[in-house]
Structures are given as C-alpha cells and as structure tokens.
Amino acid sequence: MTTPESSLVFNIVWTGSVFPYLRWFTASLLHHGAARFRFVANGCPPDQIDLMEEFAAAHAERVVEVFVSSTSMERHGDALDAVFAARDDGDHFCFLDPDILAEGPFLREFIDALDGGCAGVTSGRGVWTEDVTVPPGHPGVPGECFYSQDGYLFGSPHFALYRRAVLEEIRSRWEAGFSTGKGDLPQRGRDALVAAGHDYWLYDTGKIVNILLQVDGHQLCHFEHPALLHIGGMSHYLSPPEKQGGLLAPDEEPDQRWPWPVGRLTVARYTAGVLRTLCDGDPEPALPDGVEGELAARLGRVRDALATCVRDHAAIVHRASR
C-alpha cells in the first residue's frame, strides 16, 4: 500500500527568534502537501514559543504540537534525539530545516522511495552550491556535504524521512543517534566506521547514523526535488544567539566548526535581509557589491521565491493572529 502524506509528521527544529520570519516557509509546506508538523523549540525565548503555540492552535489539524526539547540552545542532533525518544509518530521519523520552502507539491517522490525499499531518504542541497562532496583531505563531514570523494552517500541533515524501525535498530545495536559523534561511539562503532572507509574527526548531524544504517545492509537514498528550495544558514542572520535576535554585521561570520564558503555567507545574509523587508514592509536590500554571474542569478532566484511565498501564503500565516 502507498503511504499517505498525512501519515507523516515532520519535526522542525527552531532556534532563537526566527519564527516570525521563517513561519512563511512552513506555510508553503502546509499549502503544498498533506503532511503534519511538530515544532521543536531548541533554546527559543518564551515569546517565540507563544507564537508557535498560536500558529499550532490555528492549524491544529496540521501542527501536532510544540515540543520544547531544551530551554537552552543545544545541538540540532540533540533536539532530534530528544523528540525521537519522547514521541512515536508511527512507521516513519521525518524532519526538515525551517529555512526550506516549497514551491509546489513535493512529498510523493520521497514517499515512493520509502515504499520502494529505502530505509531513509534525504534531500536539501543549499541553493548557494552545486557541490555537495566532502573536499579532499577535509577532517570532517560537514552538514552541507552529502557524498564522499568516491561517491559514498552520507546523506543530508536538512530534509530526511526514515523508517522508524530502522532507526530504533541503529540506536539499539550501535548506541548511536543523530547527535552522536565519533567519541560517543563504543569501540565497535568506531571500528565499523574505519572498516567502512569513512573515518573522520568530525561528523555533522546524522552522518554516523547514515553510515551505520548502510553498514547494517539498509539502503539510504538521496535526491533533490525541484519544488524544494533550501536557503541554508539564515538563522544566524535572523537570530544569531550571541546577538539575541539582531543581525550579524556584514563582515561578521557565524561561529562554525569549519569556515563557511563565501557563496553560502552571501546567500544567507542577502536572503535574511530580503525576508525581513518583505515581512516588515521595508525597502528591499540591493544586491551585494561585486556579485554577478551565477551567484547573482542564485540571489535573484531566492528573491523571487521569497516574494511569491509571502504573497501567496499570507492567509495561512495570518490565520494564527486572528
């Protein structure tokens, strides 16, 4: 039987004070599919949780709850592990980043992959890049890198659907979750990473789970969907934790374990600025100085998508404030 969209519950992990802006992205997901959603608050101020509760109440048939995973901002994987342990949504466990918007129906192909035998399927390449391969000699597997140099699939932490039973098997057999790092694994788990040929110093959210899933003989799948647009890194500019909701200065970079590529920084800064102006009614920011060619085209793509999102989904967003 085909899995119905409505049986899926996507967990969206929210941090800081981004909800007033990125709720527009959630509205696009509500509009273009029948899945349900859980808001996972990870270090969000009380006023943000109140806004989430209002949105959830206005869309009670689609937003199942607001789940506070931590009152302080913890790792993304910690929030996912907390909700996985506390809630059981049936046959699948799903999550996506809050800065992914939908421009059309998108779920059917992912469901078909699960129904066709994949234990997990991921997606979510950032609009700022086409290269999702771990660079040669890199000490870790960053979140934005989905493949090794030889084509091995590490998967994406940005958008993912799993068969829950497989994740439960991985957690039990390997004592591993989405937040697990190399040092957290029992020795047999570290040995399995070495034997698989993917021994790194650092692993971003879910990378170790995805490796061990395949070590156990399950199939992990990945593809990009044309109706999904992932910006990447916007929360750092809409609500960086060190600024308590203020924008980073143009010459500041978010605190990362590895430096961000220039393209990602440029797209995140510009997109955050455009989204703020669309929501607040301020003049749209100009393209950054010196941006041209392919990067300028990417920024134009993002600007147009945001304008359409805010124009088309106002009824969904404002339903919560009536």
For the chain, domain boundaries = 1-322
Sign of the alpha-carbon torsion through 240, 245, 247, 252:
negative
Share of the chain above pLDDT 90, in %: 83
The structure tokens 């890198």 sit at 145
Q: With 80 as the cut, is the pLDDT of residue 259 above it? A: no
Residue 305, pLDDT above cutoff 70: yes
Q: If residue 302 lies in a helix (H) or strand (E), which one and from where to where?
A: helix 293-312
What dotted CATH number matches 1-322? 3.90.550.10
At 120, is the secondary structure helix, strand, or coil? strand
Q: What are 165-210's pLDDT values in tens digits?
A: 999 999 999 999 999 999 999 999 999 999 999 999 999 999 999 9
pLDDT tens for 8-35 read 999 999 999 999 999 999 999 999 999 9
> Mean pLDDT score of the chain, rounded to an integer?
92
Q: Which residue has the higher pLDDT, 256 or 160?
A: 160
State residue 322's pLDDT score: 57
316: helix, strand or coil:
helix
62-116: per-residue pLDDT in tens? 999 999 999 999 999 999 999 999 999 999 999 999 999 999 999 999 999 999 9
Fill in the DSSP letter of residue 230.
E
pLDDT tens digits for 228-257? 999 988 887 887 555 434 455 555 666 554
